[in-house]
């Protein structure tokens, strides 16, 4: 974990509200970053917004990191105006990340901007010659991101939209259920999920019902990002844990919803 100033390499719109921003990292950092880890980015040096915002690693490359973000408020709006060469104040890499001792097969589930960290995760699987099955849930066709990248990595990608404008109409959890109750499910399989809370809750419940190990990446409001403020608490069976330090990746069955 380091605090550093990073040069923006590029910042491109990939969907109506989604952007991919790539920034330079200090020497050797990007190589050590684990999928599921995140960076806290201060988008300007004013006190509005005051705090840096957390963003997952979307892709880690040679001395650069990419994040994929959605504009939802002030900080992400300001971030979307950054140009190549602009400087960002960054803290990271933070959090535990997905375990790297990966074994397949794997099912990846992403909802909304929650697909962002799944690409780096799929890359790690690809390195181990594991081709995961991926379910992406989005509001409409326009909101689907990362599907092409994931396919390139050899993943079998299924898309669901809430309005049916692409792929199946409905929720990712419905497809997930079909998959895990289907005959050709190779076991032991692990589910990795990231997305909005209701989705994670539903995925966690399915995993529990069908006794499948499940890792989920959670989001909470953060102040410090390093475990000192105790602000990003999530209730677990072992009491409150901090999303920034003990997580963001948790064993789904540990979480008390």
Partner 1 sequence: MVSLKTTIGKLELKNPVILASGTCGFGKEIKSLIDVNKLGAIVTKTITLNKKEGNPPPRIAETASGLLNSIGLDNDGLKDFLFEKISYLGKLKIPVIVSIAGNTTEEFTKLTKEISKIPCIKGIEINLSCPNVIHKGTKFPLLAQDKKATEAIIAKLRKVTKKTLIAKLSPSVTDIKEIAKAAESGGADAISLVNTYPGMLVDIYTMKPKLGAVTGGLSGPCIKPLALKCVWDAYNTVNIPIIGMGGIMTSGDAIEFILCGASAIQVGTANFVNPKAPLEILEGIKQYLKEKKVNSIKSLIGKLKNNEK
Ligand X SMILES: Cc1cc2nc3c(=O)[nH]c(=O)nc-3n(C[C@H](O)[C@H](O)[C@H](O)COP(=O)(O)OP(=O)(O)OC[C@H]3O[C@@H](n4cnc5c(N)ncnc54)[C@H](O)[C@@H]3O)c2cc1C
Ligand Y SMILES: Cc1cc2nc3c(=O)[nH]c(=O)nc-3n(C[C@H](O)[C@H](O)[C@H](O)COP(=O)(O)O)c2cc1C
The Cα–Cα gap between 147 and 161 comes to 13
Q: Which residue in the set 7, 166, 205, 245 belongs to the binding site for partner 1 (CB under 8 A)? A: 245
Q: How far is the CB of 144 from partner 1 (least distance, A)?
A: 25
Cβ atoms of residues 61 and 6 within 8 Å: no
Count the alpha carbons within 13 Å of 15 in the hemisphere toward its beta carbon.
Answer: 18
Which segment (12-20, 58-66, 169-177, 223-231) binds ligand Y by CB under 6 A?
223-231
Residues 178-207 that bind partner 1 (CB under 8 A): none
Which segment (13-21, 141-149, 151-159, 219-227) binds partner 1 by CB under 8 A?
219-227
Q: Which residue in the set 51, 71, 185, 223 belongs to the binding site for ligand FES (CB under 6 A)? A: 223
Is residue 15 a contact point for ligand FES (CB under 6 A)?
Answer: no
Is residue 14 a contact point for ligand FES (CB under 6 A)?
Answer: no
Residue nearest to ligand X (CB): 73
Which residues bind to ligand X, rule: CB under 6 A? Answer: 38, 49, 53-56, 67-70, 72-76, 113, 116, 219-222, 248
Q: How far is the CB of 218 from ligand X (least distance, A)?
A: 7
At 202, phi and psi to the nearest 5?
Answer: -65, -40
Residue closer to ligand Y by CB (options 196, 231) is 231
Q: Which helix (H) or strand (E) holds 217?
A: strand 214-217
Q: Which residue in the set 26, 229, 237, 256 belongs to the binding site for ligand Y (CB under 6 A)? A: 229
Which residues lie closer than 8 Å to 174 by C-beta, 6 or more apart? 160, 168
* Buried/exposed 49-73: b ≥16 CB within 10 Å, e otherwise: bebbbbbbbbbbeeebbbbbbbbee
The Cα–Cα gap between 248 and 256 comes to 15
* Buried/exposed 124-133: b ≥16 CB within 10 Å, e otherwise: bbbeeebbbb
Q: Which residue in the set 75, 242, 249, 255 belongs to the binding site for ligand FES (CB under 6 A)? A: 242
Q: Which residue in the set 8, 78, 185, 226 belongs to the binding site for partner 1 (CB under 8 A)? A: 226
Q: Which of 62, 68, 10, 67 is nearest to 32 (CA)?
A: 62
Cβ atoms of residues 130 and 107 within 8 Å: no
Contacting positions for ligand Y (CB under 6 A) = 223, 229, 231
Residues that bind partner 1 (CB under 8 A): 1-3, 42, 47-52, 89, 91, 220-235, 239-240, 245
């Amino acid at each position: 974990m380091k605090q550093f100033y990073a040069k923006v390499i590029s910042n491109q719109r990939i969907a109506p509200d989604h952007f991919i921003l790539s920034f330079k990292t200090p020497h050797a950092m990007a190589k050590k970053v684990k999928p599921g880890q995140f960076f806290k980015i201060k988008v300007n040096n004013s006190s509005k917004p005051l705090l840096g915002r957390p963003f997952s690693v979307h892709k880690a490359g040679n001395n650069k990191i990419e994040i994929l973000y959605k504009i939802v408020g002030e900080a992400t709006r300001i971030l979307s105006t950054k140009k190549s060469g602009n400087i960002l104040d960054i803290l990271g890499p933070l959090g535990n990340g997905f375990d790297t001792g990966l074994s397949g097969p794997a099912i990846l589930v992403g909802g909304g901007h929650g697909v962002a960290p799944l690409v780096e995760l799929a890359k790690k699987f690809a390195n181990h010659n594991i081709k995961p099955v991926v379910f992406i849930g989005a509001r409409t066709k326009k909101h689907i991101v990362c599907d092409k990248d994931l396919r390139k990595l050899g993943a079998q990608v299924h898309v669901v939209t809430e309005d049916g404008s692409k792929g199946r109409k409905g929720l990712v959890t419905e497809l997930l259920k079909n998959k895990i109750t289907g005959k050709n499910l190779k076991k032991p399989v692990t589910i990795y999920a990231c997305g909005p809370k209701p989705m994670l809750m539903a995925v966690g419940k399915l995993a529990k019902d069908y006794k499948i190990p499940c890792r989920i990446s959670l989001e909470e409001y953060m102040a410090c990002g390093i475990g000192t403020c105790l602000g990003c608490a999530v209730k677990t069976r072992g009491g409150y844990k901090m999303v920034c330090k003990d997580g963001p990746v948790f064993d789904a069955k540990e979480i008390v919803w």
